[in-house]
């Protein structure tokens, strides 16, 4: 190895520490959400000192210094902003003065406030950083080294979630009520912000142009379909999901859309458009092609802008602006999906399964945060 300069050695060491400690940032964010720190700041008029945050969250007063250290990390990370409590001037770096600093919400932390009109994304954070998922990544190296052909407990076809827990993530949601509730609340929390942007831009993009009926496949408790029906009253919306999900949605009293119990691999009801959101990244190509073929059977032939299409909302690797956090978030999301044998696809990967399923054309309509909208035509 060529000798490195002192500057290169120092930077390399710093970067290794930075990457190795990355998990602390995730845990600190979850801690702030669990404590209700964003809510405490919001309820204090959007600006709160350390003592006010402690009083608003019920944290033990003796932990004040430790909460200050937590807020230092979350401020440097951009989750919160900090300013001089006396003057309101922006603080370049929070010090150790505690009460000299006042903390404010940023656009990021506003999304996890309970009173956010779009609903809090806090359940999504709790789902992504949860005690059943995070430990599975300790087995990633063993999973990668396992011989799939030889079979056995470490075979790659088992996923490293199953290596850690002895069952698939879907089996876990069936037998673990707490994990199932966590999953369902996360899926509800993930939708409103994305759909708010899509519905704002839908007229310009003509996403729902010519569509009079839509079936939301794997639509859960119907939050997305209800939002579409409210924004486009001429569109008759229905939700297809598993019987246990549909029964719960009906028990919750959701009546704005029709719920249909069924299996997307077996049958998808007829409609002008089929909506697939955050579904296909959970599976390999074979299962995705099977579902897309069922979608093709459900929509009118011919396609084009006036109905007869599948609307996919999912990540497209490489799409969007080239800034570092966008690129890194995309690849983090992709590796995260490895633990359940899911995959995030670039445009070529999407094109492959779309054409293999028998569709003739598609177009990327827009980018919405980490997700994109893809229209697929038969």
Catalytic residue among 68, 221, 281, 371: 281
SS (H, E, C) the chain: CCCCCHHHHHHHHHHHHHHHCHHHHHHHHHHHHHHCHHHHHHHCCCEEEHHHHHHHHCCCHHHHHHHHHHHHHHHHCCCEEEEECCCCCECCCCCCCCCCEEEEECHHHHCCCCCCCCCCCHHHHHHHCCCCCHHHHHHHHHHHHCCCCCCCCCCHHHHHHHHHHCCCHHHHHHHCHHHHHHHHHHHHHHHHHHHHHHHHHHHHHCCCCCCCEEEEECCCCCHHHHHHHHHCCCCEEEEEECHHHHHHHHHCCCCCCEEEECCCCCCCCCCCEEEEECCHHHCCHHHHHHHHHHHHHHCCCCCCCCCCEEEEEECEECCCCCCHHHHHHHHHHHHHHHHHCCCCEEHHHHHHHHHHCCCCEEEEEEEECCEEEEEEEC
42 an active-site residue? no
**Residues annotated as catalytic (active site), given as ranges:** 281
């Amino acid at each position: 190895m060529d000798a490195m300069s002192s500057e290169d050695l120092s930077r390399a060491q710093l970067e290794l520490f930075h990457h190795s400690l990355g998990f602390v940032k995730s845990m600190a964010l979850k801690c702030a959400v669990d404590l209700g720190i964003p809510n405490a700041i919001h309820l204090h008029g959007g600006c709160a000192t350390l003592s006010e945050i402690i009083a608003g969250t019920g944290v033990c007063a003796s932990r004040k210094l430790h909460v200050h250290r937590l807020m230092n990390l979350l401020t440097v990370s951009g989750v919160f902003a900090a300013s001089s409590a006396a003057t309101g001037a922006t603080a370049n770096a929070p010090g150790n003065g505690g009460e000299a600093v006042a903390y404010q919400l940023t656009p990021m932390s506003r999304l996890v406030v309970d009173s956010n009109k779009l609903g809090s994304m806090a359940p999504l954070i709790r789902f992504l950083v949860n005690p059943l998922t995070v430990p599975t990544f300790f087995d990633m190296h063993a999973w990668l080294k396992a011989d799939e052909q030889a079979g056995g407990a470490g075979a790659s076809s088992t996923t490293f979630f199953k290596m850690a827990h002895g069952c698939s993530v879907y089996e876990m949601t069936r037998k673990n009520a707490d994990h199932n509730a966590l999953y369902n609340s996360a899926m509800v929390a993930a939708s409103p912000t994305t759909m708010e942007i899509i519905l704002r831009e839908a007229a310009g993009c003509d996403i729902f142009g010519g569509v009079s009926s839509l079936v939301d496949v794997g639509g859960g408790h119907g939050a997305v379909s209800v939002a579409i029906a409210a924004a486009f009253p001429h569109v008759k919306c229905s939700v297809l999901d598993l019987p246990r999900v549909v029964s719960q949605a009906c028990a919750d009293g959701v009546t704005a859309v029709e719920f249909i119990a069924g299996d997307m691999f077996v049958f998808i009801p007829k409609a002008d458009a089929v909506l697939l959101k955050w579904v296909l990244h959970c599976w390999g190509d074979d299962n995705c092609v099977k579902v897309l073929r069922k979608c093709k059977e459900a929509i009118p032939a011919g396609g084009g802008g006036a109905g007869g299409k599948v609307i996919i909302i999912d990540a497209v690797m490489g799409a969007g602006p080239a800034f570092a956090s966008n690129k890194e978030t995309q690849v983090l999301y992709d590796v995260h999906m490895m633990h359940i044998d899911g995959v995030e696809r670039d445009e070529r990967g999407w094109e492959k399964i779309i054409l293999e399923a028998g569709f003739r054309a598609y177009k990327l309509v827009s980018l919405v945060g980490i997700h994109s909208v893809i229209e697929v035509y038969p």
